[in-house]
Chain A
């Protein structure tokens, strides 16, 4: 991507729009599906939308703003933050999938409606 010097910027609102659209798609999936695996995947989708927005915010303002001048590491810090979110998500997925496997073993279905019996 050489020779595009001045054009390498996007307005933050497009990133916000994309992340919000992905997040709301995940929410619609959680609300409309009953398969617990797909609900779990939609949660991952929402997590990734937020990660994308965090990275986009970390690159906002470039190197000129007061925030960057008072703390030169702000971009690295933001990306390390996203990295740790991914770490926690990986741990969460392993436990969550174990729970889903156990649900399937006990009910022979992945339907979340079977979890209604937890009420009593």
Chain B
């Protein structure tokens, strides 16, 4: 077993374990911390695939910005394991069964294809490096890039409009 394979399996086990813990842990703060671990493991996979730009973007955007936003919201709402709404046991079981069925169906469908043993070239090729992707992004994809800035602007305005307090304010309500 080479180092690449060991890293692949280690990161996969870490990602899967943390993903299961995201779903299974009682406290929302623990779920968020486990989700950060998942994102770091996925970033490790990107590095293994020589997609360094995406690995860095994944860490900065997801683990850095988005999860801090989640953590901030959870802290703001003062959620903990005691206030956690619980679903009926039967419904949890049904959800688990249906998710497992979907997993089995997709896996068995994939394993029937003849392309399942195509090889993924890891840690080769400079296509995922920042230099190359920057050139492509600012040459061929300038328009989508600029449009995404408009998207961010509208998302920001939308978040402010939605999060704004309505006319009769509650005496002790939190304000973003």
Contacts and interface: CB of A to CB of B under 8 A. Distances in A.
A8 B51 contact: no
Given A35-B84, A37-B74, A90-B61, A52 B128 contact: no
A13 B50 CA distance: 18
The 6 closest A-B pairs by CB, nearest first: A31-B95, A28-B99, A75-B127, A91-B155, A7-B2, A29-B23
B123 A8 contact: yes
B5 interface: yes
Contacts of A100: 73
Contacts of A97: 69-70, 73, 159
Interface of B: 2-5, 8, 12, 15-16, 19-20, 22-23, 28, 31-32, 35, 38-39, 42, 45-46, 49-51, 53-54, 57-58, 61-62, 65-66, 69-70, 73-74, 76-77, 79, 84-87, 91-92, 94-96, 98-100, 102-103, 106-107, 110-111, 115-125, 127-128, 132-133, 136-137, 140-141, 144, 148, 151-152, 154-156, 158-160, 162-163, 165, 170, 173-174, 176
Interface of A: 1, 4, 7-18, 20-22, 24-35, 37-38, 40-42, 44-45, 48, 51-52, 55-56, 58-63, 73, 75-77, 79-80, 82-84, 86-95, 97-102, 104-105, 109-111, 113
A11 B119 contact: yes
Contacts of A7: 2, 4-5
Contacts, number: 268
A82 B95 contact: no
